[in-house]
Amino acid sequence: MDPEVFRRRIAPFRNRVVIDIGTGDGLFVYRSALRETDRFFIGVEPDVRSLEKTSVKTYRDTKESANALFVRATVDDLPQEFTAIASEARIHFPWGRLLKAVGSGEAGVLNGLRRVCEPEAKLLAVLSVDPERDYAELKRLSMPPMTAAHFDELKELYRAAGFEMRWETKPASSIPSTIETSWAGRLKHSKSRRLILLSAVAI
């Protein structure tokens, strides 16, 4: 999208822009945009095939509010037009590269996330880990052990990037109702899976 057109589209939603990174099939953006017409929702996803159905529905059903958009990008190369526009950034159930970056606190990615946030913006990353089932994938990603000590250390890396972060863990069955995504629906029935919620504020 032309940067000027993009700026004009989001201008009426100043301080009310939510960016969902790794949006998958875009269900969170679709449902949120329909419910909260005074906020603008952007779904970021590298694999746009998964977005086909929801993006068509979103453009059709939000025509009047014009408050949703999907963008093909990765967390490593968030568009320059996104600089300081987000009042909220969300990452729900990351996997692969996205999990590695936010779960191990990669400076380049955290700085990129901070760049798209306005001061005092909220960042929420919801990780889901099943130590047995995910063992091979976590090993492949060279992830550090998902322990309390690790997440405590992660706070320092988030702070260095300009986020005050706290974390908590919960069973997957208690996924908050505000996280309406396709993967939330799939994972909430798991008995062995735990959620790790990283909640941060841009400082």
Ligand X SMILES: C[S@@+](CC[C@H](N)C(=O)[O-])C[C@H]1O[C@@H](n2cnc3c(N)ncnc32)[C@H](O)[C@@H]1O
Query: Cβ contacts of residue 175 below 8 Å, gap of 6+?
Result: 126, 184, 187, 188, 195
Nearer to ligand X, 25 or 200 (CB): 25
Token output for 174: 């208690």
Smallest separation (angstroms) from ligand X to the CB of 130 = 13
The 10 Å Cβ neighbour count of residue 10 is 17
Its sign, for the CA torsion 119, 120, 122, 123, is: positive
Nearer to ligand X, 41 or 93 (CB): 93
| 170-to-33, 114, 128, 173 alpha-carbon distances in Å | 27, 26, 10, 8
**Residue 181 binds ligand X, judged by CB under 6 A:** yes
**Residue 182 binds ligand X, judged by CB under 6 A:** yes
Q: Which of 9, 97, 115, 159 binds ligand X (CB under 6 A)?
A: 97
| 56-to-7, 59, 179 alpha-carbon distances in Å | 22, 5, 22
Smallest separation (angstroms) from ligand X to the CB of 144 = 18
Q: How far apart are alpha carbons 44 and 18 in whole angstroms?
A: 11
Nearer to ligand X, 43 or 163 (CB): 43
Which parts of 22-61 interact with ligand X (CB under 6 A)?
22-24, 45-47, 50
Nearer to ligand X, 21 or 129 (CB): 21
**How far is it between the farthest Cα atoms of the chain?**
48
Helix (H, G, I), strand (E, B) or coil at 195: strand
Smallest separation (angstroms) from ligand X to the CB of 90 = 8
**Residue 199 binds ligand X, judged by CB under 6 A:** no
Q: What is the number of the residue whose Cβ is closest to ligand X?
A: 24
**Residue 21 binds ligand X, judged by CB under 6 A:** yes
Q: Which of 40, 58, 92, 129 binds ligand X (CB under 6 A)?
A: 92
Q: How far apart are alpha carbons 202 and 191 in whole angstroms?
A: 33
Smallest separation (angstroms) from ligand X to the CB of 76 = 6
Residue with tokens 């309406």: 180
List of residues contacting ligand X (CB under 6 A): 21-24, 45-47, 50, 74-76, 92-98, 181-184
